[in-house]
């Protein structure tokens, strides 16, 4: 990249550069020679070598590999002509030799610095060149200074054809006309704090006219003085992703519609069943029949519960994950349940987890398990534990616990239903990589550990 | 009411601790539990995570005017429940060893303290009785 480099702008052609060096060499060396031949004033002898450093600097800067050789030749020419044409003086070589060495040094140093600069530019160009995203950069005047392989493939425009072209020519492959792109907006916002601008557009011209959905990001290129020297824009074709998301949303919508119809139908039939059971309780007084009706009622309650779970399942993943304050989420989950004499202690005040917004449903199901009368729990405690692998949110009770034989299948979808809602909890947590396991001791209480990965929690 | 302080509330604890060796809280490594009465902090307890992962209980402090009403017991009780997943260590003031024993803290030789915690009392050169403090540990668990 050559952003903000005036030399590169004025003498971009090789022919121009060689001509400039030749002219300056002829002028400075010729002037020197002429002065010697015509007889320069006594005070000026031997003639100064400094003007010769101008072509040396330019040659070494533009052509660092030959810069040293050029400076040696010019210094030698200077020394020979001065030694031959100056009036004889035994001290003359002592005056001329340091000047010649000085010229060689100038050439060497400039060539070295220039080659280092080119190496750095080369590395930067290679980085941009091999970026997987289509990327281009423009200088402050809007000329293209980088155009990588990926953008060549996306637009069909080769780097040679677009490099150093300005006047929004880089917009033509995308928009079919010269117009500002995101990188230009970055340049327009000069003076403000450098920022990354992001946009998404559908470009009908790309993909052989089928259109492409592009996600672009642009930011400023800052020079050593902190000034904006240009802008770089990276463009990603997200058409496949967008299409897939749309297809998934459609499929999800259809499934939700279908399951909604089934839920409504089941609920209606369940209401009829409850009605019959109520009539049955009033109609019969035989204890055996009443017990049978009670069993039917329990079965109907189970079906109602599963309908509720399927309703919750419908919404999972529909909202993007977010940073969720755990304490508040636990409290809200608990507010919908009846704890009776069971105490709840929550010690997660400063903890936030990156989770699906239905995290509260997870706690609801865990609490429901603890609150089941069969567990005999009197206390539920929610804490967290920082570990090398992440943060474990721990929900434990002092009930009967879960037998070892049942632990493995706790979070698996069972043929006969959704268990205690723990499969649902597992699925909600899995969206953001949170794992759940039961580590309690049977007879001492249940203990559920929700392990949030290292990047997925924060203490605020 | 007893609850854990949020990071933004740490200066409130610093204010109360001003009379307690000028101690201050660090949101990056401390959890502070406070008992509130009419919106004012009446007792504090701190659990500090040291770089080696060990947890030290300290800063248990009730201002003079609020003592004798069980507030410190509430603060320490909250702390041991909230931090019960780790072993907890402390240098207990000799006269309060019995109080901490109620929370299942037991006396241990100073060498059993994690090095990061032991460093705090290197000046005592092992003479814990002279320093009037006692190393104690509470095993993880509710």
Domain boundaries, chain B: 2-138
| B57–chain A Cβ distance below 8 A for any pair | no
**ipTM for the whole predicted complex goes beyond 0.90:** yes
Please give the angle made by the CA atoms of A394, A397 and A398, to the nearest 5 degrees. Answer: 140
Tokens coding A135: 């990327």
Average pLDDT across chain B, whole number: 92
Q: A456 and A432 in contact (C-beta within 8 Å)?
A: yes
pLDDT at B12: 95
CATH 3.40.50.300 fits B2-138, yes or no: no
Helix residue spans in A86-171 (DSSP H): 92-129, 149-155, 159-162
**Cis status of the peptide bond prior to A24, with omega within 30 of 0:** no
Tokens coding A270: 């369940």
DSSP string, A268-321: HHHHHHHHHHHHHHHH---HHHHHHHHHHHHHHHHHHHHHHHHHHHHHTTSS--
Q: Which residue has the higher pLDDT, A173 or B32?
A: B32
pLDDT at A212: 86
**What confidence tens digit (pLDDT) does each residue in A126-156 have?**
888 888 899 999 998 999 999 999 999 888 8
User: Is residue B96 over pLDDT 90?
Assistant: yes
Q: Which residue has the higher pLDDT, A5 or A60?
A: A60
**What confidence tens digit (pLDDT) does each residue in A330-341 have?**
999 999 888 999
β-pair partners for B33: B4, B45
Rounded to 10°, the helix A14-38/A53-62 angle is 160
Helices and strands (DSSP H and E) totals, chain A: 15, 13
User: Is residue A5 over pLDDT 50?
Assistant: no
Average pLDDT (A196-213) is 84
| B26–chain A Cβ distance below 8 A for any pair | no
**Cβ separation of B27 and A459 shorter than 8 Å?**
yes
Average pLDDT (B102-127) is 84
User: Is residue A288 over pLDDT 60?
Assistant: yes
Å between B91 CA and nearest CA of chain A: 23
| B29–chain A Cβ distance below 8 A for any pair | no
> Of the candidates B4, B81, B85, which has its C-beta nearest A349's C-beta?
B4
pLDDT at A2: 41
**Cβ separation of A460 and B7 shorter than 8 Å?**
yes
**Cβ separation of B82 and A392 shorter than 8 Å?**
no
């Amino acid at each position: 990249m050559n952003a903000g480099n005036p030399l590169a702008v004025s003498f971009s052609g090789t022919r121009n550069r060689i001509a400039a060096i030749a002219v300056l060499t002829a002028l400075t060396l010729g002037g020197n020679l002429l002065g010697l031949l015509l007889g320069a004033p006594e005070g000026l002898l031997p003639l100064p070598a400094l003007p010769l450093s101008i072509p040396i600097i330019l040659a070494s800067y533009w052509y660092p590999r030959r810069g040293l050789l050029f400076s040696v030749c010019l210094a030698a020419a200077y020394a020979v002509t001065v030694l031959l044409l100056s009036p004889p003086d035994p001290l003359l070589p002592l005056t001329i030799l340091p000047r010649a060495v000085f010229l060689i040094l100038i050439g060497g140093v400039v060539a070295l610095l220039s080659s280092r600069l080119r190496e750095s530019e080369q590395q930067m160009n290679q980085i941009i060149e091999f970026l997987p995203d289509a990327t281009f950069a423009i200088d402050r005047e809007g000329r293209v200074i980088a155009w990588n392989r990926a953008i060549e493939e996306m637009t069909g425009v080769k780097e040679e054809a677009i490099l150093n072209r300005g006047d929004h020519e880089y917009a033509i492959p995308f928009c079919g006309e010269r117009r500002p792109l995101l990188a230009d907006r970055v340049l327009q916002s000069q003076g403000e704090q450098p920022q990354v601008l992001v946009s998404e557009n559908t470009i009908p011209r790309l993909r052989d006219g089928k259109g492409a959905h592009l996600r672009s990001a642009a930011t400023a290129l800052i020079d050593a003085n902190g000034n904006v020297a240009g802008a770089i824009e990276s463009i990603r074709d997200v058409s496949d992703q967008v299409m897939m998301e749309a297809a998934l949303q459609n499929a999800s919508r259809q499934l939700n519609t279908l399951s909604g119809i089934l839920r409504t139908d089941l609920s209606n039939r369940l209401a009829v069943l409850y009605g019959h059971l109520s009539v049955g309780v009033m109609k019969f007084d035989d204890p055996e029949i009443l017990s049978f009706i009670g069993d039917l009622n329990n079965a109907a309650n189970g079906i109602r519960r599963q309908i509720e779970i399927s309703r919750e399942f419908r919404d999972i993943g529909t909202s993007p994950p977010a940073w969720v304050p755990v304490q508040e989420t636990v409290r809200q989950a608990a507010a919908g349940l009846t704890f009776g004499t069971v105490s709840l202690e929550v010690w997660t005040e400063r903890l936030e987890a990156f989770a699906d917004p239905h995290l509260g449903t997870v706690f609801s199901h865990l609490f429901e398990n603890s609150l089941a009368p069969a567990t005999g729990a009197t206390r539920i405690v929610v804490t967290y534990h920082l570990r090398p692998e992440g943060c474990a949110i721990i929900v434990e009770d002092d009930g009967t616990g879960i037998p070892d034989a049942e632990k493995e299948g706790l979070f698996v979808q069972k043929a006969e239903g959704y268990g205690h809602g723990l499969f649902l909890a597992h699925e909600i947590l899995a969206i953001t990589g949170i794992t759940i396991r039961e580590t309690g001791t049977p007879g001492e209480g249940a203990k559920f550990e929700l392990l949030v990965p290292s990047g997925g929690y924060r203490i605020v | 009411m007893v609850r854990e302080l949020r990071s933004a509330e740490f200066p409130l604890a610093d204010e109360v601790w001003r009379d307690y060796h000028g101690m201050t809280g660090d949101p990056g490594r401390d959890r502070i539990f406070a008992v509130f009465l009419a919106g004012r902090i009446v007792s504090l307890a701190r659990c500090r995570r040291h770089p080696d992962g060990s947890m030290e209980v300290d800063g248990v402090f009730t201002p003079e005017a609020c003592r004798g009403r069980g507030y410190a017991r509430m603060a320490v009780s909250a702390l041991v429940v909230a931090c019960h997943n780790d072993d907890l260590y402390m240098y207990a003031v000799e006269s309060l060893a019995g109080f901490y024993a109620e929370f299942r803290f037991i006396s241990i030789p100073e060498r059993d303290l994690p090095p990061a915690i032991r460093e705090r009392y290197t000046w005592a050169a092992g003479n814990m009785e002279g320093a009037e403090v006692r190393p104690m540990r509470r095993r993880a668990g509710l």
